[in-house]
Amino acid sequence: MYKATIMAAVIAMFLSLVIHTSCTSSDNSDTTPRDTTAPGTGGGNPPGPATFVPQTTGISVKKITTKDTGGISSRYVLYIPEGYNDKKDTKWPTIFYLHGQGERGTNIDLVKAAGLTRKAADTKDFGFIVVAPQCNAGTWWDLPSVARLYAEALGTYNIDQSRIYLTGNSMGGYASWEWAILRQDRFAAIVPISAPLPDSWKSACVASKMPIWAFHNADDPQVRVADARFMRDTLTIKCNATQYKYTEHPTGGHDAWTKAYDDPALYTGCCSLKNNRIHL
């Protein structure tokens, strides 16, 4: 009887481990790094929307369709370029934008007025779709939650999935580093701005093949410029990155993103590149 009880407990423990493993190995989990540094390791573009759905052009607020949105708000800011509805067969380059600490919570207007979303709204003929989620109050970016929105956006909008870019400022810049190190295959390029040193910096070499343009101000009082310089040296010296660009302004405080997003070269250079490492 005792042996039977022990055996039953062992079997139950084994089954629980199997179930747990199967439930946490989703492709969209974005919690485990993938070795996707070499071109051609991806499985090609995933399917986009089955049928074209017209969208409100300019800035709008959308609701995530999944019931449990995890660590992000149920609403996100979307920018759709002029001409989107007239060009039903066109696939558009897309930028995922992750805001800083000041925009957390449920006031979506804060995200509308932040960094890249404000730039898109204020720019005539801004040629990118912009997807900007909102982080829950009192937390940092939860990448699995953002990854689910990433997948939802790809299935909803006419996105050129070889031209998806990631950028963020401050807390969002930190998350940009973390996400790119985990899943560099998701993006054609990344632009971390005023970003703290990512926890996974020791694995940064996996992102050395992708184009990166980082920005920081030397007099930033909130995030040490040493963090940005350390990542620059890690990528360019240790990892031999050849597509790494670093712009450091002597002044400007913590806000390095206004100058960065106002620079036309960001959109004609870094954000015009294509990704041949797609593997969703």
DSSP codes of every residue in the chain: -HHHHHHHHHHHHHHHHHHHHHHT--TT---S-----STT-S--PPP--SS------EEEEEE-SSS--TTEEEEEEEEE-TTTTT-TT--EEEEEEE--GGG-SS-HHHHHTSHHHHHHHHSTT--SEEEEEEEPTT----HHHHHHHHHHHHTTS-EEEEEEEEEEETHHHHHHHHHHHH-GGG-SEEEEESPPPPTTGGGGGGGTTS-EEEEEETT-SSS-HHHHHHHHHIIIIIS--SSEEEEEESS-TT--HHHHHH-HHHHHTGGG---S----
- Distance between CA atoms of residues 132 and 117, nearest Å: 7
Averaged over 34-40, what is the pLDDT?
A: 39
Q: At what angle do helices 171-182 and 143-154 cross, to 10 degrees?
A: 70
pLDDT of residue 274: 77
- Asked if residue 38 has pLDDT above 60, the reply is no
| Structure confidence at residue 20 as a pLDDT band (50, 70, 90) | very low
pLDDT of residue 275: 67
Percent of the chain surpassing pLDDT 90: 74
The encoded tokens of residue 123 equal 């720019």
| Structure confidence at residue 66 as a pLDDT band (50, 70, 90) | confident
Phi, psi of 227 (to 5 degrees): -65, -45
Query: pTM of this prediction?
Result: 0.83
| Structure confidence at residue 43 as a pLDDT band (50, 70, 90) | very low
How high does pLDDT run on average in the chain?
84
Phi, psi of 246 (to 5 degrees): -130, 125
- Asked if residue 122 has pLDDT above 70, the reply is yes
Percent of the chain surpassing pLDDT 70: 80
- Asked if residue 262 has pLDDT above 90, the reply is yes
- Asked if residue 35 has pLDDT above 60, the reply is no
- Distance between CA atoms of residues 149 and 146, nearest Å: 5
Q: Is the four-CA dihedral 172, 178, 183, 184 of positive or negative sign?
A: positive
Averaged over 116-127, what is the pLDDT?
A: 94
pLDDT of residue 40: 32
pLDDT of residue 8: 44
